[in-house]
Structure 1
Amino acid sequence: MKRLFPIMALGAASATGGCVNVTAPDKPIVINLNINVTQEVVYRLDGEAKTLIQQNPDIF
């Protein structure tokens, strides 16, 4: 019985060995990536720069 089991396992493995088929798809593979990028800008001005901008609004 000890010798019969490996022989049966080998037979079962060889019987299922030819069942795997790999073929290329007919249509191209499409990967849809929905990406949302949000940017937030935070700025702070010191008092002197703030008054300079208020006095000269056309500076920028």
Structure 2
Amino acid sequence: MMKIRILLIAMLASLMMACTPTVKVAMPNEPININLNAKIEHQIYIKVDKALDDLFDENDDLF
């Protein structure tokens, strides 16, 4: 009876170890692509700067 228990415990332990997950760290085969799809509009800043310059030229006594 004792041998059967030891055998069952050994079988259960071997089954538990067979189901352990493995983690592998490997380099990817393809390069990593980052697609930002960024659209930069600098025209807005130029218009605001020009409008501020015109405002300061018209009103010299603001500062």
TM superposition score normalised by structure 2: 0.36
TM-score (norm 1): 0.37
